[in-house]
Structure 1
């Protein structure tokens, strides 16, 4: 009988690839969704199960409610808690983001601790829980670092407090009931989308550049990871006995948005995509941010380079990352194939990705 694993937030970008990775390696997957009637949003996951011959079931569970979680975790050996809010604009009230992130995480952990079957929970955190609120920026951050909530914006604060709450919860459990917890802390997540609905805020820079929705690139950038490599890391974090009690950074070298634009212009310009390559002055970005909430998110990070080390995951888990350039190009191609980025005027529309799927 296959080991059963619960994955939360099944229809999300990262969760979809995690489910695919687990099915490929013979695990039986139970996946949570908020609405069992929205079958169209999980059709790509059903196709993955058919392709691999794997066992996949869906259950209804909402991070904002207790109902459904006891049944969701029942009989599972591990839980991969991937679901978490990632807004494209700042919330009107930071508690609208922090509350659900913290309470949702604790709701999953409480359910996992109450069952006798779950021994390990892998939590998808973020480098947002590591890199923010520090006075010094030219330091390579590792798993030993924590963001300073009092000096962080809402999203970074939510990820920090949610992960802190998870570690505190597990530490407070009686010794005989203690869950094993592992945290995975990814940087900006690139890689192909599996469906037009399974997208992420992390795709926005690529989409905006390809669509020429911006006149150029602000002086912002990110340490990136490919979603397919991140899915592998989740599996390794679940399988490796020594991973218990550890955090793992999943982020490569910092890439400036201008470099993303130049690579996209080189590769997709001949196909008619007019990708902007100029760098926008900070003063102009700050002015635009007064009216554009999405741009406003970039202002605190103007000119700041994300420096992180994933050496621990490489050393302890044998994890590897593919080159960022390939991840970027695969991201762009998938956004085009799924119709998230329109074909240039006069160009033939791409064949829909679903039509070419196995």
Structure 2
């Protein structure tokens, strides 16, 4: 059990990202000095939201430049920190030709580089790693074989590869690398946060996330003819950010924590949103699986194998550890979805029909 000195700075890697920028904001509001790593601190558009979060906050923001695949580049930011929150990871779902170069290498080598620096800096006591439920399972069909029909922290994704679900593969390989490195030393301990689909308002228009793609597809009219029966675990970005801090500061926190508040299909999300946004062309029906399989490779750029293994299955996640150990309190699904949708409208990413 490690007790973290709250007067010491906290390092947050990938600080300009969707989840990380909320972590930075919450830490600053709670009076922490934050060593925030970004790719280019001189690029005003990518750090403006971090500087804004620091305005009026009782904490102090210090920016550092670091590169995931450059050994030693995180060491300066980690110096003097007892807690390191490692969120930096490549986020590309499509549009690449080499999944190893685009996803796997930077995720695994980036984790290795950050943890090597943690080994080199004597002050480090705890590392909190942003992982994913993609580290726990690869395809929804796996729910049929898990004990009790519910995904838990004891499970590992053994089905993803560079050729099938490469993003999920990058997450599980990075988390496995982190546990391997942790077990080779005894000075610092490791806690992982494994969120499902993260939704809720972003602090910047610059970030990429699957949730923005999901919302844009639902609200733009692109799916007005119907959606597949694709179910997601959903969790609010604000709960995920808070969980990282709770995991960092709670001496009893150890191991992995699934962060997932609700499960909902695309149609259920659309129904929730339509109640508040009837003027948007949200889908009103579910498409049969055979039709989805027929059109998915052309219309959505996903394989028939993905459709076969993910469409039509109901998901369940055990979030009890996050509530019992960390004390996470989850907000209603309606609040998460509507806050996210409204922010996308405000940012000009969605237009009325």
2:55 is the alignment partner of 1:50? yes
CA-to-partner distance for each residue in 1:189-213, whole Å, 9 max, x for gaps? 0110112113412221111111112
Unaligned runs of 5+ in 1: 346-358
1:145: Cα distance to partner? Answer: 0.9
| Alpha-carbon separation, structure 2, partners of 1:218 and 1:210 | 15
* 2:330 counterpart residue number: 321
Q: Secondary structure at the residue paired with 1:105? A: helix
- Residue 73 of structure 1: CA displacement? 1.0
Corresponding residue for residue 277 of structure 1 = 284
User: Once structures 1 and 2 are overlaid, which stretch shifts more, 114-123 or 83-92?
Assistant: 83-92
Runs of at least 5 residues in structure 2 that lack an aligned partner in the other structure? 1-5
Q: Distance in 2 between matches of 1:276 and 1:149?
A: 31
**For 1:290 and 1:274, how far apart are their aligned partners in 2?**
23
Question: Structure 1 residue 91: deviation in Å?
Answer: 4.1
**C-alpha displacement at 1:295, in angstroms?**
4.3
**Equivalent residues, number:** 338
Residues 1:100 and 2:112 are matched in the alignment: no
Deviation of 1:133 (Å): 5.6
Show the counterpart of 1:83: 88
Q: Is the 8 A contact 2:93 2:167 kept in 1?
A: no
The answer to whether the aligner puts 1:160 opposite 2:172 as a matched pair is yes
User: So what's the TM-score if we normalise by structure 2?
Assistant: 0.90
Structure 2 match to 1:169: 181
The aligned residue for residue 158 of structure 2 is 148
Superposed, 1:297-336 pairs within 5 Å as: 299=307, 300-336=309-345
Q: Secondary structure of the residue that 2:349 maps to in structure 1?
A: coil
C-alpha distance 135-301 of structure 1, shift in aligned 2 (>3 A)? closer
Report the equivalent of 1:225.
Answer: 235
Give the C-alpha shift of residue 150 in structure 1.
5.3
Counterpart contact for 1:8–1:33, Cα < 8 Å:
yes
Q: Which residue of 2 aligns with 1:348?
A: none
1:68 maps to what in 2?
73
SS at match of 1:52: coil
Q: Contact (CA 8 Å) 1:149, 1:160: kept in 2 or not?
A: no
Deviation of the 1:135 alpha carbon: 6.5
1:97-119: CA deviation from partner (whole Å, max 9, x where unpaired)? 11211111111000111101111
Structure 1 residue matching 2:56: 3-state secondary structure: helix
Q: Tell me the CA shift for residue 235 of structure 1.
A: 0.5
Contact conserved, 2:39 with 2:66, CA < 8 A, in 1?
yes
Return the alpha-carbon distance in structure 1 between the equivalents of residues 287 and 69 of structure 2.
40
1:21 deviation in Å?
1.2
Q: Deviation per CA, 1:158-191, whole angstroms, max 9, x where unpaired? A: 1111111100111012x4xx32100000000011
**Shift of residue 88, structure 1, vs aligned partner:** 2.9
| Equivalent position SS for 2:123 | coil
**TM-score (normalised: structure 1):** 0.89
How far apart are the structure 2 equivalents of 1:306 and 1:168? 29
